[in-house]
């Protein structure tokens, strides 16, 4: 599974990077955590951040394992992240 680095971007938003490139994010609304891929593909909604972040990791691992590069985007993150 890819080793993602997670950083909070807002109280209800966490951004993942992989090798310094944007890999996806998890947003939280009330008690649901929604995972999104690098091109905002919705990967599902879960009851915890841990499960939602794992969904992104598994999705990336599957994409790479199938020989399909996930096409990560370089996104400039604020310096404080």
According to the model, what pLDDT value does residue 56 have? 95
Q: Say what the pLDDT of residue 3 is.
A: 82
Quote the pTM value. 0.77
Residue 34: the pLDDT is 97
- Sorted by where each begins, the domain ranges of the chain are 5-65
List per-block mean pLDDT (blocks of 10 residues) for the chain, which spans 81 residues: 85 94 95 95 96 94 65 49 46
The DSSP H or E segment spanning 10 is: strand 5-10
Give the Cα separation of 78 and 39 in Å (integer). 19
Residue 6 tokens read as 């997670």
């Amino acid at each position: 599974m890819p080793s993602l680095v997670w950083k909070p971007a807002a109280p209800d938003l966490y951004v993942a990077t992989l090798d310094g490139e944007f890999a996806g994010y998890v947003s939280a609304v009330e008690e649901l955590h929604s995972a999104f891929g690098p091109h905002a593909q919705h990967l599902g909604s879960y009851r915890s951040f841990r499960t939602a972040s794992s969904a992104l990791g598994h999705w990336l691992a599957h994409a790479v394992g199938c020989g399909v590069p996930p096409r990560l985007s370089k996104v400039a993150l604020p310096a404080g992240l």
